[in-house]
Structure 1
Amino acid sequence: MTDFVPLIVGIGGTSRSGSSTELALRFTLKAAERAGAQTAIVAGPDLEFPMYSQDRSERCDNASEMVGLLRRCHGIVVASPGYHGSVSGLIKNALDYVEDMRDDDAAYFDGRAVGCIACAFGWQATGSTLAAMRSIAHALRGWPTPMGVAINSSTRVFDTEGKCLDGAVERQLELVAKQVVEFARMRAAAGSYVDSMGAGKASGMQQCLA
């Protein structure tokens, strides 16, 4: 499987481009690229979907494109700010659209590792937000990576160019990326991916800083 290039999709951030959460997500995806993966990101304003409802079949272009990327990907990284002790409404609403994948051969996040990153202004919300993200990943049949990252954004963690200024956070984000990519490679080596999960090109939503 030396020619296998997994597609890792990152979802996260806030409605404001360049948030600490988005910078953490982009840093992790760059680490995944260094580990040999192809990446795509859905972040910031691209996540401002209409409120999810099973009663409505119409989908905005961004939501349809995100679901399309998730159907093709081999691993996922989700980064959320901690809002009032849990996942933000923006991220939770985006993840609710994964319900569109319920009848897929690889339903929801089945067979994919999910790296979880929580950012909050202070430590209190980081732990509860990270725990909520892991629970959501389990509910979507994903495999949360052993390493999850909690980032206290009350101190500056990234510079304006996205460089991580905290050595411990840097190592943790790199480990999350490594675990997501390695899990994808192990699944591929075992021949466990269904036909609908091709590596393909990450068209549409921006490829991560390619």
Structure 2
Amino acid sequence: MKQPHIVALGGTLRPTSGTAAALERALTHAKALGARTTLLTGPAIDFPNYEPEAAGGNPRIQSFLRALRDADGIIIGSPGYHGTLSGLVKNALDHVELLRRDDRVYFDGMPVGIVATAAGWQAAVATMTTLRTVAHALRGWPTPVGVAINTVEDGAIDKADGQLRLMVEQMIGFVAR
């Protein structure tokens, strides 16, 4: 079996993004399981608002699309803003529409791990639910384990480590099948 490629996308523009930290932790587990990894967060997904006719020429968007085309699994992570995903993550996911004419449309047939962070459980769980819906709309297969993280708790990412590891194990197992 070839080495699986897991791409994590999401986070915020803040250098201390809790979501980016959770995605990095998940990718650490993926590397330990033998995967190649790519992290797309902050400036790597800070695109102009999605406009179908204009999006194709942007080099950052093209780099994003190349990573997604090469992926065997995707992890989507978003902070919970007002009970749903952030505009930054939503806009990046809107650009996945540019994969509509590919042989593998969107995330078709790929495992999709979901990570949602928020300053409270309600927003984290609501965001996780929305991300699952988006993954389904993009033809992905959300893993049974999704990870909601309440970032106001001390050591929140460390507390979620076991769930992040299990989610990644499910992704790698799916790819191996």
Which of 58, 61, 85 does residue 59 from structure 2 map onto? 61
1:165 matched to 2:158? The reply is yes
Match in the other structure for 2:37: 39
Map Cα deviations across residues 111-133 of structure 1 (whole Å, 9 max, x no partner): 11000000000111011100000
1:99 matched to 2:97? The reply is yes
* Aligned-pair CA distance for 1:156: 2.8
- Change over 3 Å in CA distance of 1:156–1:91 after alignment to 2: same
* Aligned-pair CA distance for 1:96: 0.6
Distance 2:11 2:57 in 1: 21
Distance 2:10 2:126 in 1: 17
Match in the other structure for 2:154: 156
Show the 5 A alignment for 1:1-16: 1=1, 4-16=2-14
Distance 1:176 1:109 in 2: 17
Give the 3-state SS of the residue equivalent to 1:137 in structure 2.
Answer: helix
Distance 2:55 2:162 in 1: 42
Distance 1:150 1:156 in 2: 15
Q: Number of residue pairs matched?
A: 177
Match in the other structure for 1:132: 130
Distance 1:29 1:58 in 2: 28
Q: Where do 5+ consecutive residues of structure 1 fail to align?
A: 159-163, 187-210
Q: Is the 8 A contact 1:15 1:47 kept in 2?
A: no
The amino acid that maps onto 2:40 is: V
For the pair shown, the structure with the greater C-alpha radius of gyration is: 1
Give the 3-state SS of the residue equivalent to 1:10 in structure 2.
Answer: strand
Distance 2:15 2:154 in 1: 17
Q: Is the 8 A contact 2:55 2:61 kept in 1?
A: no
Which of 101, 116, 122 does residue 118 from structure 1 map onto? 116
Distance 1:52 1:44 in 2: 16
Distance 2:26 2:173 in 1: 14
TM, length-normalised to structure 2: 0.96
Show the 5 A alignment for 1:137-148: 137-148=135-146
Q: Where do 5+ consecutive residues of structure 2 fail to align?
A: none
Distance 2:94 2:158 in 1: 33
Map Cα deviations across residues 161-209 of structure 1 (whole Å, 9 max, x no partner): xxx432xx111000111111111111xxxxxxxxxxxxxxxxxxxxxxx
> Kindly, what percent of the aligned residue pairs are identical?
45
* Aligned-pair CA distance for 1:69: 0.6
Distance 1:28 1:143 in 2: 17
Distance 1:59 1:149 in 2: 34
